[in-house]
Amino acid sequence: MTAEQRGATPAREGRNMLGHFLGLMGKTVFTALVLAFFVIPVLWLVFAPFDAHPSLNVKLPEFTFNNFKVLLANPNAIGSLGNSLILALGSMVLVLVLGSLASYSLSRVRIPGRDVLLYTLLLLSSIITGTAAMVPTFLLMVKLGLIDSQFGVILVLSGGILPTVIFILKDFMDSTPKSYEESARLYGARPLRILWDVVIPLARPGLATIAVWAVVQVWGNFLVPYILLRSPSKSPAAVVMYTFYTEGGQPNLALISAFSLLFSVPVIAMYFFVNRRYGFRFHGGIKS
Amino acid sequence: MADDGDVAGLGKARATAFLAPALLLISVFLVFPALWTLYLGVTNFRLSGSAARNPKFVGLDNYINALSDDRFLNSLGLTIVFVFASAVVGQSVLGFSIAWTMTRVRKPVRAVVEFFVLLAWIIPSSVTTFLWYALLDRSNGTLNAMLSTGHMAWLLQYPLQSIIVFNTWVGTAFSMLLFSSALASVPPSQMESARMVGAGTWAQLRDVVFPHIRGHALTNTLLITLWTFNTFTPYLLTAGGPDDRSNILPIFIYRLALNDGALGQGAAISLIMIVINLVIATVYLRLLKERKS
Amino acid sequence: MASITTNSLVKEYPGGVRGVDEMDVTINDGEFFALLGPSGCGKTTLLRTIAGLEKSTSGSIRIGDREVTNLEPGQRRVAMVFQDYALFPHMSIADNISYPLKIQKVSKQERRTSAEDVGGKLSLQGLLERRPGQLSGGQQQRVALARAVSSRPDVFLFDEPLSNLDARLRLEARTFLKKLQLDLGVTTVFVTHDQAEALALADRIAVMRSGKLQQLGTPREVFQRPANTFVASFVGSTPMNLLEGTVRDGQVQIGNSAVPLPQSAAGLAGEGQTVTWGARPEYLDVATSTKAGSLAGSVTVSENLGAAVLLTVQLDGHDQDVQVVVGEDFEPAIGTSVWVTSEPRRTLLFDSEGLRIGD
């Protein structure tokens, strides 16, 4: 190989500079377009809640907190946020308790067919989605007399996310060192006590992640409560929000904007809290 | 492993007792409904009327009806276009492009971009749909104001395109995160090796990056396909309309079974959905297992 | 074939830390050149800056008669072998070896011929169809070398070429590498933290610390005439003994004892000057009875090195130990009184700044 074949002739250097420039341009333009695409739709959520005369258009607000006063004066809206909280916390407690018991025993005892069971559970939770199973679920709840019951909604939502919870928690339990439990056992602690005193504290990061994940899943869920609940007084924010802008007349934008913001902030805050604290982890089917 | 790892002395009996409540809940509220679909699909069960009290066995009629029903076939076609365009193309390509570009920009820029992409993913769906409803509104929408397109009614004129763009917007975050971590796992020395011999960006992508992240790309495609196939969220934007032009399968089932009351028919179509889900998920789990071993 | 010259080369990281600080080095055409130093000394940064993987902050780099400071790595006509070899796991060995030619758009046929040719030179016949994962560490290293050879560069850059091999294989690979470099005659720069590797392989060594050049010289110069106490203690398989002392009556007073002034410092050390006396353990000996000009002490540790024994001797009236390598037959009991003797032409003197006195 000679120097002319490969290396820095002036023409090559010129092309190099040009390529560099084009690369930089492309990168900048692409980044700007991506930002525009993702930022513009949410701008409304940032400005409208504080605008004295909110419209559907994005514009700089005439600043006011009045929209939140409108929101506070609307018992339907405030109640629905409370309902969302009930559903989210109820499901979270249920899946955490049942999920940690189940994943602990799966992690520590080789029950026959354990691996098959785990994979079957994961498979089921990913194929029997709320949409695909809405018809039989609805009928089941009618038969059980659990239509229009928040408890019923909690059961259905928990059943849907529990397999994933068990799968992920088992991962965490598997990775906690077993010597702690052995040492607790040597001091005479019984299994439930060991679970409570040793395993749960050790698996806390995992439990926290799961807790937040469960809350986020349920908090924004629309379909299940939409199908299973009848009375507006029991409906969560996701459903009430929808009725605000679809049920006849001019949508009350002052109410909707403040409501949207209040409804969104908790999940955003929790999400970024967990992300910062524990980092993002991937698991099969973490979001459905 | 000879040792079964039962360090807390749980024993099989107690382990089963620990497991039982969770399995019971899953069986009743997840497995049973799925099995029931099998039965419901072969009856003429209806929400009200005589067929509600005394459902009759109709064999494969529901399936035959569905497969010869223009509305069903239309819905299936729309779903395929929707999934392909918004998940396989939209989310994957955009997610990868963002992840790739973000490895070559300054840290603060990266943080800002990732924040907003994630935001679209985590804001509750009823809120994001309203944001897009406002964005695309015919008389006051921001999009018309930006593009000077007058009073274009996007959701009525281009319902399918609208929900495709919307779903790309919502779901790109997952692909971006997955590809970011995939790109981080490409050994820097391999990229540098390619650079040392003069490989340009395209050659680096072709010879180093793509072969490394092939597994991730497949995982990503399968998962987002599954989720997109099952998403009900576009209902909040277009409710399947106008004239069924955005009537993807989940919405079709909802309207058929719970609005029109044809539970048996709805169940038959649900089963078709579950079977498609099963195929995608089985491929995915098989891959997952292969990569672990 | 080309020489490499760096001129006031600086690589500064955000935050002001200098990985490479004002480096002026000329590496001759065909030379096998080592960059030696402890981790974090800037040797790898310097290598990567020469490669073009890091952009220099200021200064310049020339390869042969070409100014390459602002060229892309692929245009510098250099080849690099990475510490982890960076073989592409999805490509066959043949494809890996001929990858540089693929980028240069050489035809498939020619690439195949070249891969066989280069692979043959590096005893990789019969492995060309395999994947990197199926090869041993030593074979992988040869593939990485073959890939570097096949791009026909002006310069080879090796980043810790032997560190991923186990101890036994390393010696074998070292000999192989030296022979290969000799055969090809291509200017080669390699980075290592292992002084023995640098001594064994290199024609010349640059010893670095905190981004700065400490000494540049042949292995013999660096070993026998270290420029300062840092180089003295870094080079050598057992570090050089460095003892604080004072010049008195043409001798060096160390604790209760006095040793003769090193030959190289004769007439250069002032009376009463505080100095550091340096002597390699290999160049010292012990006697079991008192001797003039020796260091009195007692044995505290005795380590068997196989063909030799490393003694640690606690000096009387001094808080420092001295290490001595003695023959394998001498195995004194712990606590034995000994007298450490030295030869003036084998010892060195450093001033209070740590710089060596004399030529």
CB contact under 8 A, C77 and A16: no
Please tell me which chains touch C, using 3 or more CB pairs under 8 Å as the contact test.
A, B
Answer yes or no: is pLDDT of B146 > 90. no
To the question of pTM greater than 0.90 for the whole model, the response is no
Answer yes or no: is pLDDT of C349 > 90. yes
Q: B260-284 pLDDT, tens per residue?
A: 888 888 888 888 888 898 998 888 8
Please tell me which chains touch A, using 3 or more CB pairs under 8 Å as the contact test.
B, C
CB contact under 8 A, C104 and B199: no
Answer yes or no: is pLDDT of C330 > 60. yes
pLDDT at residue C75, rounded to an integer: 87
Q: B41-100 pLDDT, tens per residue?
A: 888 777 776 667 777 788 788 888 888 888 899 999 999 999 999 999 999 999 999 999
Question: By percentage, how much of chain A surpasses pLDDT 70?
Answer: 89
pLDDT at residue A182, rounded to an integer: 79
Mean pLDDT taken over chain A: 82
* Mean pLDDT, range A187-191, rounded to an integer: 77
Give the range with max mean pLDDT: A272-286, C219-233, C317-331.
C219-233
Q: Using CA coordinates, name the residue in chain C closest to B187.
A: C86
Query: Chain B contact for A39, CB < 8 A?
Result: yes
- All residues of chain A having their beta carbon less than 8 Å from the beta carbon of residue B257 are 134-135, 138
CB contact under 8 A, B117 and A138: no
Q: Give how far Cα C327 sits from Cα of C183, C281, C306, C312, Å.
A: 38, 12, 10, 14
Residue A277, phi then psi, degrees to nearest 5: -75, -45
Of the candidate ranges B2-6, B37-41, B121-125, B203-207, the one whose mean pLDDT is the lowest = B2-6
Q: C67-98 pLDDT, tens per residue?
A: 999 888 888 899 999 998 989 988 999 999 99
Q: Give the long-range contacts of residues C110-119, CB within 8 A, separation 24 or more.
A: C114/C150, C115/C146, C115/C150, C118/C146, C118/C149, C118/C150, C119/C93, C119/C94, C119/C146
Answer yes or no: is pLDDT of A2 > 50. no
Question: By percentage, how much of chain C surpasses pLDDT 70?
Answer: 100
Cβ-in-10-Å burial (0-12, 13-18, 19+) of C133 comes to: exposed
Strands C58-63 vs C4-12: parallel, antiparallel or unpaired: antiparallel
Query: Chain C contact for A10, CB < 8 A?
Result: no
Class of the CATH domain delimited by A74-286: mainly alpha
CB contact under 8 A, B26 and A162: yes
Question: Cα(C333)–Cα(B177) distance, rounded to whole angstroms?
Answer: 66
Q: Which residues of C sit within 8 Å Cβ distance of A? A: 66, 68, 71-72, 75-77, 104, 152
Interface of A with B in 168-207 (CB under 8 A): 178, 181-182, 184-185, 191, 194-195, 199
Using 50, 70 and 90 to split pLDDT, how confident is the model at A153? very high
Answer yes or no: is pLDDT of A96 > 80. yes
Using 50, 70 and 90 to split pLDDT, how confident is the model at A278? low
Q: Which domains does chain B have, with CATH numbers?
A: 62-292 (1.10.3720.10)
* Minimum-distance CB partner of B187 among C74, C86, C103: C86
* Mean pLDDT, range A199-228, rounded to an integer: 86
Gap from B159 CA to chain A (nearest CA, Å): 17
Gap from A269 CA to chain C (nearest CA, Å): 32
Cα torsion A84, A85, A89, A92 to 10°: value is 40
Q: B55-69 pLDDT, tens per residue?
A: 778 878 888 888 888
CA atoms within 13 A on the CB side of C136: 8
Using 50, 70 and 90 to split pLDDT, how confident is the model at A16? low
CB contact under 8 A, B187 and C99: no
Q: C111-160 pLDDT, tens per residue?
A: 999 999 999 988 898 999 999 999 998 899 999 999 999 988 999 999 99
Q: Which domains does chain C have, with CATH numbers?
A: 4-228 (3.40.50.300), 241-350 (2.40.50.140)
Gap from C75 CA to chain A (nearest CA, Å): 5
Question: Cα(A118)–Cα(C320) distance, rounded to whole angstroms?
Answer: 65
CB contact under 8 A, C71 and A13: yes
Answer yes or no: is pLDDT of A163 > 80. yes
Using 50, 70 and 90 to split pLDDT, how confident is the model at A7? very low
- Cβ-based neighbour number of residue B233 at 10 Å: 22
Q: C213-272 pLDDT, tens per residue?
A: 999 999 999 999 999 999 999 999 888 999 999 998 888 998 888 899 999 888 888 888
Mean pLDDT taken over chain C: 91
Using 50, 70 and 90 to split pLDDT, how confident is the model at A6? very low
pLDDT at residue A287, rounded to an integer: 37
* Mean pLDDT, range C36-60, rounded to an integer: 92
